[in-house]
Amino acid sequence: MNKFDVYEEEFFVTTEQILSFSNSTGDTNPIHLDPKYCEGVRFRTPIAPGMLISCIFSKIISTKFPGPGTIYREQYLKLSSPVYPGDKLIARLEVDEIDEEEGRVSLKTTIKNGQIIAVEGAAKVFLAKVFKRPSKIKQKNLTNKNKEFKV
Amino acid sequence: MNKFDVYEEEFFVTTEQILSFSNSTGDTNPIHLDPKYCEGVRFRTPIAPGMLISCIFSKIISTKFPGPGTIYREQYLKLSSPVYPGDKLIARLEVDEIDEEEGRVSLKTTIKNGQIIAVEGAAKVFLAKVFKRPSKIKQKNLTNKNKEFKV
């Protein structure tokens, strides 16, 4: 992984995902769920929750870029425009800074909806190796560190 | 709603919620799901996804503080320490700035896990009234604004 490396993935959210997100998080905002309410709002029909769309970053970071075992440290999100179910979205992650030795990576994170920026932001992650346990001989006196992300 | 107003809510996440989050987002990080993998990691057992825990802010903003119809605009999250299923968490939202006329609210958002800060951050939201549609007479020439959050 190097500075300026880019990973892109096309995706969309469905009404079913929005319902599932609402059920599992308790976010019952009518702006996401209630077509009647939305008739009286500028967006006209229900829009996807920003946190649901943004979970694509969690997915990509955890599975592809950098990959399994990565630890999420920071995420900034600016929800710039509404996303409707079925909109064709492209998530883009770009390596902004990387310290391979310390295992720290900063990423620019954006989601485009056609030509419009839907989400812009940035993430910081630790590579999986940072939290791997040392061999048993080295494990003494490390128990206090179990509850902290700091390295 | 006034500057310094605070809303707090106790919650926890379950292993079932982590599985549901993984299914609906595709975040299959072994750090959240695989006890065997976690034996080799400093946290020892699976930890909750930061984005899942942080969805408590989406829930509270959308249902209580400010309430239904609120539009999420920005969220910064710093995931400071691991959260395990069943940990007793307290989400705290405090009004940092408010412009009632423009309908803009800035919030400090934190999650405590006992005495430890698990998540710190900040959010910006628009009050529901900002995106309410004007009466039909005033709706002419507003169609271009339907795809934008800017007000």
Tens of pLDDT, residue by residue over A55-72, are: 999 999 999 999 999 999
Determine the pLDDT at residue B24. 85
What is the number of other CB atoms lying within 10 angstroms of the CB of residue A15?
Answer: 14
CB of A38 within 8 Å of a chain B CB? The answer is: no
Interface probe with B: pick from A72, A81, A124, most Cβ of B within 10 Å: A72
Determine the pLDDT at residue B47. 98
pTM of the model: 0.89
Tell me how far apart the alpha carbons of residues B23 and B19 are, in angstroms, rounded to a whole number: 6
Residues B70-104 pLDDT 10s? 999 999 999 999 999 999 999 999 999 999 999 99
Determine the pLDDT at residue B148. 58
CB of A103 within 8 Å of a chain B CB? The answer is: no
* pLDDT confidence bin for A134, thresholds 50/70/90: confident
Determine the pLDDT at residue A130. 94
Average pLDDT over residues A86-107: 97
**Is 90 exceeded by the pLDDT of residue B124?**
yes
Where do the DSSP E strands lie in B12-115? 71-79, 89-99, 104-113
* pLDDT confidence bin for A103, thresholds 50/70/90: very high
Tell me how far apart the alpha carbons of residues B36 and A68 are, in angstroms, rounded to a whole number: 14
Tell me how far apart the alpha carbons of residues A98 and B19 are, in angstroms, rounded to a whole number: 31
Contact B29 A81 (CB under 8 A): no
